[in-house]
Chain A
Amino acid sequence: MEYFTFKANGRYWGVEARFVHRVLENVPPARVPFVPACYLGLIYYRGELFDVVDAANLLSGGTGSLTGKDARIVLLKWSRHKLALIPDEIIGLVWSGDIKGDGTVYSHKNHTVRIITPAAMWNSLFGLSYGRSSEV
């Protein structure tokens, strides 16, 4: 299976490549109020709106945040959802047919890559609190 791997909050993550719709460069998201810290804003791409999320913040449960090394936006699409993710760094595509033990983690070039589904990211995101103002 092919995985799209990226770095966020000092860790390596992998998403099934079939969910990656497009990688965009230099598209600043429009800021939106009343959203959790990991929610960076909205982008409009080919007639669709994507929620843009700071991968480091989301995947660290709010403790980390984007380092800004790589400003590329990864557009993910799966079932009826879509999401734009800004990782700290895009590593690339890797192929693996051998996912270890718990089925979520494998090693790649001495890095441990944690496999995550877009749905799991969405659920984490959906579970956060919206509607409150955050200091800007």
Chain B
Amino acid sequence: MVDLQKYKKIFVAESEKYLKELDNFLIRVEQTPDDTELWKEIHGKIHSIKGMAKALSMNNIARLSHAMENWCKLFQDDTDKVEPGAVQLFFDGGKLLKLLVGEDDEISGLENRKWYNSLISGFSQEPPDRRNSRERIQAVPDTGTVEKIDCVRVKYSLIEELLGYAQETLFLEKTLPPLSRESTALKSWIDHYTSMLKGLYFRLAQLRLMSVGDFADLFAVTIRNLAREHDKQVEFRVVGGDLQADIALLDRLREPFIHLIRNSIAHGIETPEERRRAGKTPTGLIRLEAGKERESLCIRISDDGRGISRKAIAGHLKNNRSMSDEQIAALSDTEFFGTVFDTDFSSAAETSDIAGRGIGMNVVAQAIEYLSGSIAIASDPGRGTEFLIRLPVSLSVVYAITFKLGPYMLSIPTANVESIDQWDGMDSAEKKGLYDLGARLGVGKSRVFSHVMNVKYSEIENIIAPGHKRIKFAVDTIIGNKAVMVMPVGELLAKTRAFGGVGIMENGDITMLLDPGSWLFDM
């Protein structure tokens, strides 16, 4: 069954973002009504809202955006039709769209119904030509509604500072002197206070998350400017923008992404004329797609440009690596295209203009490696290039079954846990068949178990159509199904290849998230 609520949530978030951007474009177009590019941008925003609204059967929003879209098309062809009242009508349209998005497409009250109808009727008319217009478009008077302030901008450094204060306060708990027996009430008060403080800290830490969509917005202007600079037409599309990741991680991705995008526009995407000759649409597409695979954040950046010349890479491998044709042919695509990330590929590229895609790619690879991630490249001549970046789970909050085994506090994402059984309820044959996780961890054998966890997981090799494996093991104690803030494992622990991340629990305790697909569960 399709989870409409989930999509509606995405729709609301995306639409609010587009409508905010729409306001900015309208402010600009009011100053320069002849700028057809601006009208194109405005059209793009409204079109996106319409598309999503239609898919969700939000007909009032779809109808109004459609009406607004018609005028956008007209203004792109003939800017003489743009007179000040027209821009105001767009402002009003945007304002009403905001209202409808917030109210689940409902038009509440008579006033708003009138407002809606007058806008539909306004946009249904032919816009008057400002060269010979006697009558000006009558903008709908402001209804006097004031937008709710439901979010504020806060500097990242302030969040870090607040986190610091919260943690320092939490540390004070550890220096609490022993309390006498008579101080039970005080002790109870302190426990409650500390637990509230831990909750506060946990929530503060979540402020460090940023949506990939907001991150992608940072590139929109750069892409537009670069495309203009290179006389190219480029559309930037973001998929999975609602996924959230740690701001610090995203910030470190900014430079590598700019690099990839710059290369894509400068060397990958063809000019409109070249694209037409190749049977493509004149506008090239750069797509940023975010998703989660297991405990990894995956970001795919692709373009539909000319791709990387295999000939150029082969030439580099022959000249700089003294590889024979046979050796080159034996390379897998990943190894072959991976050559562009080599340090020596950059210098070679600069001197021989080797398809122009290797310049500085080693810098990109290093930046990803620094984040303990990986980058893979695939390219199809004439069809485009795709970079797949996998990063260890960034700061995010997941639910995980937390348990103790020996001295270790461990967790497995709840989604991977099929069932939890009582140890006492199992017969000896079943107990004998269990996987001995304790032995793998080097935990002594003489233990008293409380529960048995039944964990399902997918094979790494086949992410598209995962085959589910199951494994059962006994644990000392189940702590519970806990919300944990997941942080990436550092370079040292990454060497174990056993963990999907480090979890910080609401009480500040650390739990290691086991990767169910790792060697740890190889039987």
Contacts and interface: CB of A to CB of B under 8 A. Distances in A.
A125 interface: yes
B123 to A, nearest CB: 49
B167 interface: yes
Given A27-B171, A27-B174, A30-B509, A131 B498 contact: yes
A100 interface: no
B441 A33 contact: yes
B164 interface: yes
A20 interface: no
A95 interface: no
Which of B171, B490, B511 is most buried by chain A, counting CB atoms within 10 A of its CB? B490
Interface stretch (A2-10, A44-52, A62-70, A111-119): A44-52
B492 A33 contact: no
A67 B171 CA distance: 24
A71 to B, nearest CB: 11
A133 B441 contact: yes
Interface residues of B, number: 37
Contacts of B444: 135-136
B159 to A, nearest CB: 9
Interface residues of chain B: helix, strand, loop or mixed (majority): mixed
A72 to B, nearest CB: 13
Interface stretch (B61-69, B138-146, B404-412): B404-412
B442 A135 contact: yes
A35 B489 CA distance: 13
A30 B510 contact: yes
A47 B208 contact: yes
Interface string A3-39: 0000000000000000000001111001111110001
B234 interface: no
Nearest to A53: B492
Given A49-B502, A133-B442, A30 B511 contact: yes
Contacts of B493: 32, 35, 42, 51, 130
Given A34-B498, A44-B504, A133 B440 contact: yes
A46 B496 contact: no
Contact of A49 (B160, B175, B490): B490
B314 interface: no
A19 B34 CA distance: 58
Given A47-B160, A125-B492, A42 B370 contact: no
A35 B441 CA distance: 10
A91 B385 CA distance: 57
A126 B490 CA distance: 11
A91 to B, nearest CB: 23
Interface in A66-120: 80
A42 B439 CA distance: 22
B486 to A, nearest CB: 11
Nearest to A134: B442
Given A25-B174, A49-B510, A135-B442, 18 more contacts: A26-B174, A27-B171, A27-B174, A30-B510, A30-B511, A32-B408, A33-B408, A33-B442, A33-B512, A34-B496, A42-B502, A42-B510, A43-B510, A49-B487, A80-B370, A131-B497, A135-B444, A136-B443
22 contacts: A24-B171, A30-B509, A30-B510, A31-B407, A32-B408, A33-B442, A33-B512, A34-B441, A34-B498, A41-B510, A49-B502, A49-B510, A80-B370, A125-B492, A126-B491, A131-B497, A133-B440, A134-B442, A135-B444, A136-B441, A136-B443, A136-B444
